[in-house]
Structure 1
Amino acid sequence: MALRGVGAKPLSERGKVDGREVLPWNEPGLSRADRVIAFCEDLPITAGKLAGSSMQLREWQREFIRAVYAEDTAGRRPVRTAVLSMGRKNGKTQLAAALALCHLLGPEAEPRGEVYSCALTRDQAAKLYAEMAAILQGHPELDDRCNIVRFTKQIEVLTGDGAGSIYSALSADAGSKLGLSPSFVVYDELGSAPNRALFDAMDTASGARDNPLMMVISTQAAADHAVMSELVDYGLRVQSGDVADPSFHLTLYAAPEDADPWEPATWLLANPAIGDFRSLEDVQRQAGQARLVPSKEAAFRNLILNQRVSAVSRFIHKAEWDANAGTVDAASLDGRECYAGLDLGATRDLTAFVMVFPDEKGRYDVLARFFMPEANIEDRSNEDRVPYDLWAKQGHITLIPGATIDPGFVADVLANAASRYSMQALAYDRWRIEDLKRELGLIGAALPITPFGQGFKDFSPAVDMLERCVAEKLLRHGGNPVLNMCAANAVVTRDPAGGRKLDKSKAAGRIDGLVALAMALSISKRHEPETLPACLAELVA
């Protein structure tokens, strides 16, 4: 039965179009990828100077389709997740709409299939619907087989390939999506998703299908912990051979971080359609503004050059921080001299305890522990757009039972650390420390705690120390994802005298781990033995 509602096509208007005997994508001798290409190129362009003409895929689009729809020796498509990432305005929406129609009523259609477009908001997801509806209206032969309901932004296939299949636009409210069984999903601009809930819901919902496909078409996210970043990183590992996974494909157009952002050759690396249907003049205009206005450079790098760069200027450059991600052998740290920093969060926030272990070469092994209340962890993950719940499952965050941080729990952790390692000093912020001191007293733990001011006077040397250690690659932080997040969010402010401090109020997210690390490094510097000048050392000897 056809869907009914506002915008539905009357039954009397169907069945009046004479179809071709053999459709272009059904010509004999075509491979699976060639059938998809033939279907796409039979569709009309709906807007712009080429409106009314047939779509002509560019070679870079054909290469992506051939990679995704290639078949194995058994005649099946191995790829189940496909990621296409490039700069903005490179025709992603039109390509996604064509492929969604291909799975809805073209050569990739299956009986009673379910095709969905996903995005941050329903309006954004509906952009793909609008493009699909416009294409169908410009293709009477396909339009005659469909029922389009504009009120609900749905399309139902009535006859032919894919009869009984439906398409619908979905937003990031993942709660109502768990009963779906998608055969094809296209996620538009996953890089801007607030969390991974909708992606995971659609990815896991396709298990009942024989050969489902999840397609992500997006620019890169700004942060490493975003689901889009995880997909890109995983795809790069697949490309390098580090991971063998024929079910995953990545096509990435992005400018390297060390490339000159103002050179046209660099723009082309992230914008395969530049000079074609991506305006070269528009990119030149944005590059000129970003070069003269520093606040626009980060957005230009992220949205145009498709680099993983936040639109907010950060204290620590990602490449420098990643260069310090050496492996930390936790077992070898037992009994070693260490210095620690503790940043107690509010009752429902993140608490960070970071220890640094200096070695004879002047480098530091970094061991970080994080704590959050167990109650409402998913809500806080959604609020901060950070996967705290996932990190807790992976062991990077310790969840404390209840709805608030229990100072007794933290006191036990500190006491155990002091007994395991040779803790020389523990720097702490005075805020909320009295409750912790009381708990330490109750368990008889005499820790070498040292107050650490959070103003410019006390924190400026800590910022200098942290910056030097990162720049000179003196840290081994093990790539802890929570600490990585804190480093990516960190910003500094200056006082009139030039002093600096890490500023939580201006940070893009939580920076507690980096604050604790800065305090630990600074307190270790204070405890370094003073070295006598050579002439005095000889006299003493």
Structure 2
Amino acid sequence: MQEITAEILIERVWSYAEKIHSGEIKAGKRQKWAVERFFKDVDRLAEDDCPYYFDAEAVVDFYEWSRQFNHVEGILAGQPIELTDFQLFIAANIYGFYKKENGARRFRKAYIQLARKNAKSQFLALIASYEIFPTQEKHRVFIAGWSREQSDEVYQAILEQLHHAPILKGKYTSANGRVKKYKTNSIIQPLSREARKLGDGKNPSLGIVDEYHAHETSEIYDVLDSGMVARRSPLMAVITTAGFNMERPCFKEYQYTSKILDPDIDTENDDYFVMICELDPEDDIKDESNWIKANPIVATYPEGMESLRSALKVALEVPEKMRSFLTKNMNRWVDQKDNGYMKMTKWRACSGEIPDLQGLPVYLGLDLSMTTDLTSVGYVAMQDGFFYVGQHSFMPEARAKEKMATDKVPYDLWREMGFITYTSGEAVDYQLVEQWIIEFIHKNRFRLQETAYDKWNALHLAQRLESKGHTMVELPQRINHLSLPTKSFREKVFERKVVHGDDPVLTWAINNAITKMDPQENIMLDKAKSPQRIDPIAAVINAYARAMYHDTNHRVDLNNHFGSGNFSF
């Protein structure tokens, strides 16, 4: 192999960055921000008080290490791995900057988001093997996918690289689901969900989180991160594509790391390297010149471009495939599930302060599910053309721990925040629900108008409230009854005529909500198909179904309407 000097490699890195900056290589705004950050970091090195130095030889070491391995699949199978300029730029950042005070790596974390098939697993495999083999220190590398299959994908890429590297023959064993280096007992091990706590307390030096968008909670990330405290120079590496569930921890990480890059936002974290390659919102997905923004490797060779063309053709012909194309191939976050009810960006834009409800007309909605599950009361108040919405939910305390494990949400934290009440025993106590409603009305001193309910679960409670002077309106949970309020509520959200108090329970529920449609294009929320509980938003829509008719010129008496000869099922 030709000898590569530090000068040659750094020139490649600098040239690549300049091409991104000048527009010679097309890039999304976040990738451009990452390059601008790199230029600023390099300029800082000349300052006497800069806490960092740059070690070009360390970059050479990683580059030369990579060349010891061969591509194991694709059109380059069997050929030595030659880092692309894009990969080299990432490596120069992670392995080039060090702290003057102790010689530790500057970057303790890395968030890299790019489209699929851009050699993510290969790059992760390289940094994993580099962590344990070219050193005499004892290191521990853990690979964390949400499923065992995800963890194994990177682990298998590591094994294939190691098995085809002559220089490592006889220097390690791969048994019992982990790689172990003989001389130092350093290990590389995938973590399954069932055994994900293995990284806790094991002092990992490198944590690899693959496809973070698929992780339902941050638990495995947090376990690895907390275990690194004693390491002088640890690295937590997250490499992922975009996703479509914006309530998962990956999207929050994407938002945070975007702020680190954004030059107009004062968020600094010198320990965190960020590279996000994605199409910008205004980009035309049919314009092939844009594809390199999300595909810094795939879009540089003919076979890769042909693969993207094929994927786009399918997505255009089969609309159900478009979400997958946008997230996996164009690396865009798509804020709606298949048949999802709400665009979550629209919902978040409606976050605001709920005013004092005293004197305001307010409607309540009940969604009383099975007594062993979540039960919710929704409310809708009106003022000056705006709908102020909220909810309160109830769960049997004896079931709470079990539900937290299955639903993967912090019911205990939401209880402390005041959005959920635990009821004693194995079942929801509807007398407690009744008591909460009465106290809620009394405390806020609003003008309660009506309470909408479905008699299937709430008939007894409705009768008790009615005996106390409440106006109760039966609202059957059928598509022809719920379609109009379900559509109208969404329209009001899009018009920003709805205000919610950033209630995490309601936001979680609305993100879970899936709709179903009949041949007449009527819709309603579908509890059977929604991945998790939607009771809080169902309760709010029940309340809205009456609130939307508050204008007396358009009021409809549903009880009379259902009993008239003009109504039929």
Question: TM-score normalised to the size of structure 1?
Answer: 0.82
SS at match of 1:501: strand
1:54 equivalent among 80, 88, 97: 80
Identity %: 25
**What CA distance in whole angstroms lies between the structure 1 residues aligned with 2:483 and 2:244?**
28
Partner-residue secondary structure (3-state), 1:513: helix
> CA–CA distance in 2 between the matches of 1:207 and 1:402?
41
Matches within 5 A, 1:334-483: 334-360=358-384, 362-388=385-411, 391-392=414-415, 395-421=418-444, 422=446, 423-437=448-462, 446-483=469-506
| TM-fit CA distance, 1:497 | 4.4
What is the DSSP-based 3-state SS (H/G/I as helix, E as strand, rest coil) of the residue aligned with 1:275?
A: helix
2:307 paired residue among 253, 257, 282:
282
**1:82 aligned residue:** 110
Could you tell me how far apart the structure 1 residues matched to 2:160 and 2:115 are? 24
Query: Paired residue for 1:244?
Result: 268
Alpha-carbon contact 2:391-2:506 (below 8 Å) kept: yes
Contact kept, 8 Å, 1:452 with 1:519, in 2: the verdict is yes
The equivalent residue for 1:172 is 193
1:112-132 CA distances to partner (integer Å, 9 max, x unpaired)?
211111223334322322222
**What's the offset of the Cα at 1:31?**
5.3
Amino acid at match of 2:119: G
Does the 8 Å contact 1:339/1:356 carry over to 2? yes
CA drift of 1:92 comes to 0.3
Alignment of 1:268 with 2:268, yes or no, is no
Which of 542, 549, 556 is the aligned partner of 1:526?
549
Do the aligned partners of residues 461 and 112 (structure 1) sit closer, same or farther apart at CA in structure 2, a change above 3 Å counting? same
Residue 184 of structure 2 is aligned to residue 156 of structure 1: no
In structure 1, distance between residues paired with 2:117 and 2:412? 34
Change (3 A) 1:487 1:30: same
Structure 1 residue 294: Cα displacement? 1.2
1:316 corresponds to 2:360 = no
Checking the alignment, whether the CA contact within 8 Å between 2:381 and 2:387 is kept in structure 1 is yes
Query: Measured at CA, do residues 527 and 222 of structure 1 come closer, stay the same or move farther in structure 2, by a change above 3 Å?
Result: same
Q: What is the CA-CA distance between 1:100 and the residue it aligns to?
A: 0.6
Task: Summarize the Cα distance change of 1:382–1:254 in structure 2 as closer, same or farther, 3 Å threshold.
Answer: farther
Q: Which residue of 1 aligns with 2:140?
A: 114
Does residue 494 (structure 1) correspond to residue 517 (structure 2)? The answer is yes
Against the structure 1 CA distance between its residues 531 and 53, is the aligned structure 2 distance closer, same or farther, given a 3 Å change threshold? closer
Alignment partner of 1:504: what SS? coil
* Letter paired with 1:466: F
Find the counterpart in structure 2 of residue 307 from structure 1.
332
The SS at the match of 2:223 is helix
CA distance in structure 2 between the partners assigned to 1:410 and 1:125 by the alignment:
44
TM-superposed deviation, 1:23: 12
**Contact kept in structure 1, 2:141 and 2:187, CA below 8 Å:** yes
Query: Retained in 2: the 8 A contact 1:46–1:52?
Result: yes
2:90 corresponds to: 64
Whole-angstrom distance in 1 between the partners of 2:55 and 2:550 = 77
- Judge conservation of contact 2:367–2:377 (CA < 8 Å) in 1: yes
Cα 1:185–1:458 change in 2 (3 A) is same
2:238 corresponding residue in structure 1: 216
Q: Is the 8 A contact 1:321 1:470 kept in 2?
A: yes
Report the equivalent of 2:222.
200
Change in CA separation of 1:408 and 1:187 when aligned onto 2, cut-off 3 Å: same
Q: Deviations over 1:218-240 (max 9, x none)?
A: 11232112122222122123333
Contact 2:292 2:300 (8 Å CA) reproduced: no
C-alpha distance in 2 between matches for 1:387 and 1:174: 21
Return 63-72 or 386-395, whichever deviates more. 386-395
TM-score by length of 2: 0.79
Describe the SS at the equivalent of 2:392. Answer: strand
Whether the 8 Å CA contact 1:225–1:387 is kept in 2: the answer is no
Point out the structure with the larger helix share: 2
Greater Cα offset, 397-406 or 517-526: 397-406
- Alignment partners' CA distance in 1, 2:275 and 2:416: 30
Q: Is the 8 A contact 1:415 1:445 kept in 2?
A: no
Cα pair 2:388 2:499 within 8 Å, conserved: yes
Whether the 8 Å contact between 1:87 and 1:219 is mirrored in structure 2 is yes
**Preserved CA contact (<8 Å) 2:99 2:105:** yes
Q: Aligned residue for 1:14? A: none
Kept in 1: contact 2:178–2:190 (CA 8 A): yes
1:100 corresponds to 2:123? no
CA deviations 1:358-384 (Å, max 9, x no partner) are 221x11222232333334445434434
Show structure 1 runs of 5+ residues with no match.
1-19, 533-541
The answer to whether the 8 Å contact 1:78/1:246 transfers is: yes
Letter in 1 for 2:461: L
Cα deviation code 1:131-155 (max 9, x no counterpart)? 22222233322344x22224x1322
User: Retained in 2: the 8 A contact 1:340–1:354?
Assistant: yes
From the superposition, tell whether residues 48 and 291 of structure 1 become closer, same or farther in structure 2 (CA, over 3 Å): closer
Aligned counterparts of 1:110 and 1:450: Cα–Cα separation in 2: 74
CA 208–390 in structure 1, closer or farther in 2 if over 3 Å, else same: farther
Distance change in 2, residues 1:479/1:261 (3 Å): farther
The separation in 2 between residues aligned to 1:215 and 1:171, in whole angstroms, is 17
Q: What letter matches 1:54 in structure 2? A: P
Q: CA deviation at 1:469?
A: 0.6
Inter-partner Cα distance in structure 1 for 2:489 and 2:294: 33
**Aligned partners of 2:452 and 2:111: how far apart in 1?**
45
| CA distance, structure 2, for counterparts of residue 349 and residue 257 of structure 1 | 40
In structure 2, list runs of 5 or more residues that go unmatched. Answer: 10-53, 556-569
- How many angstroms apart in 2 are the aligned matches of 1:478 and 1:265? 42
Asked if structure 1 preserves the Cα contact closer than 8 Å seen for 2:111 and 2:238, the reply is: yes
Cα 1:437/1:93, change in 2 over 3 Å? same
How many residues were matched structurally? 499
Are the equivalent residues in 2 in contact too, given 1:407–1:439 (CA < 8 A)? Answer: no
Distance 1:520 1:87, change over 3 A: same
Residue of 53, 57, 71 corresponding to 1:45? 71
Query: Does 2:513 align with 1:485?
Result: no
Flag the 1:460–1:136 CA change in 2: closer, same or farther, 3 A.
closer
Comparing 306-315 and 470-479, the one that deviates more: 306-315
Q: Contact between 1:418 and 1:447, CA under 8 Å: does it hold in 2? A: no
Q: Give 1:496 deviation, angstroms.
A: 4.5
- Give the CA deviation at 1:387: 4.9
- Give per-residue Cα distances to partners, 1:297-353, cap 9 Å, x unaligned: 12212222222335513232333333323x2145x3445332222212322322232
Contact kept, 8 Å, 1:328 with 1:366, in 2: the verdict is no
